[in-house]
Structure 1
């Protein structure tokens, strides 16, 4: 079975025109003999919805996917017929429909580790007076599978399904730290490019935390993702299917400084991660940059 790509390829770039970049360069780990471009494009349309967005038009789909308008029209129609999108005739826009919800529910209800983790997350949030979350990778982001806050925790509007940058969040850095070096370097290069002008600086900062994981056993993010948010994260393997999950704890930097996270929060979070899945091992070590 071929290795998966470092991140989902932008399918608009695969076969749209003779001017498209060579697929072996844009998606080096994809076996195109098995890759169904039409299916990937349809899923791309569903992925462009962001938390809080309820309606998107064809122009939004075109801008965010890079697909031609005619292709977007056909994909949106097909997804509507199948029950994954709903078309609002009055506004001329699309909303996610129940088919998407059923997929998400199937994922969450089928995750035994999530059910096992919930009472521990609640207890942890009460104990440290902060927000604690469980997440996994989604493309170049990390996505919350569950997040629980104490009554006094800072509220940033993040809930299950919310996404965080893999590059600046502690959760993303912890995920990167346990990847094989070739996968990690490929992801960092892609993340730096996606971040634009700040990509190099953010990547260098992320590498510092990733390198520190070997002796710290966790990754931090101090005011990197948000001006008043500090966080720590610990990865572990899901005992059921072996995929990497990440626990994170975040709180207001104004009242929960670096020392609090290093001395009080991190040890407790590492103990919880070990209880849920066992100790994490960093991917193949390399100092090559």
Structure 2
């Protein structure tokens, strides 16, 4: 049994992805992990990626990328645009996403409450979870009465700069948190202020019961987030509420939205 971080074999420079449990090397399939890293290389807004993009984003050797991309294309997870020589995600990935969403009873439980809160406060209310070093949106409900921000399901957020990521970091075990923060800080390089702001919010969680992000993730986005246990399997999920910083200041999130979001998280947690 080895430590809880995937360390690739010497012939691969694929970025290490922290795992939540110890890895049994006898059962861990490195080739499968590499294939999934290729699919994770797609980011919000990406439609086509070439082999050079895959190499740059995963650190995998070009020959490995070629084989993985071919295999994923044959299996229906990637689609090759032969004219451009680049790949797009195909229907196989979509079917996996629908499988996740349809199997998440918590979404069905949370949606009406999220919709009511979005309508009440005039902001976007989202539900997300951790995915590697990011947070990923499972659902977003936008206010029907006001211009609000809100990313679509599947969108990824920085764990350091988003309120959702900070709330997740605040609630997990200290050892896992420090390992994740080390990985995250290695990736931000000169932007050490991001790490300091994240640590300050994490430290304040015990007092506030939530984490904030005021213009940290985006220049015109303020947000608050609260973690809770998934009633189905006990994993940590995070509720967040976000809105334009130009019209929804810090006081709105601290005094009005934060308490309502905490109350909603408690209701969902007690649904177990």
Q: Give the TM interval when normalised to the shorter protein.
A: over 0.9
Confirm or deny that 1:207 pairs with 2:199.
Answer: yes
User: How far 1:271 moved relative to its partner?
Assistant: 0.6
Match of 2:147 in 1: 153
CA distance in 2, matches of 1:166, 1:29: 22
RMSD: 2.4
CA distance in 1, matches of 2:19, 2:99: 32
Partners of 1:230 and 1:256 within 8 A in 2: yes
- Number of aligned positions between the proteins: 268
Which runs of at least 4 in structure 1 moved beyond 4 Å after TM superposition? Answer: 1-4, 25-29
Kindly report which structure 2 residues correspond to 1:174-189, keeping only aligned pairs within 5 A, or say none: 174-189=167-182
Deviations 1:52-94 (CA, angstroms, capped at 9, x unpaired):
2111111111111111111111111111111111111122111
Partners of 1:4 and 1:29 within 8 A in 2: yes
Confirm or deny that 1:66 pairs with 2:59.
Answer: yes
User: How far 1:143 moved relative to its partner?
Assistant: 0.5
User: How far 1:230 moved relative to its partner?
Assistant: 0.9
Partners of 1:131 and 1:153 within 8 A in 2: no
Match of 2:218 in 1: 226
SS for the counterpart of 1:133 is strand
SS for the counterpart of 1:197 is coil
**TM-score using structure 1 length:** 0.87
Match of 2:10 among 13, 16, 21: 16
SS for the counterpart of 2:164 is helix
SS for the counterpart of 1:150 is coil
Kindly report which structure 2 residues correspond to 1:159-198, keeping only aligned pairs within 5 A, or say none: 159-198=152-191
**TM-score using structure 2 length:** 0.92
CA distance in 2, matches of 1:20, 1:43: 15
Gaps of 5+ in 2: none
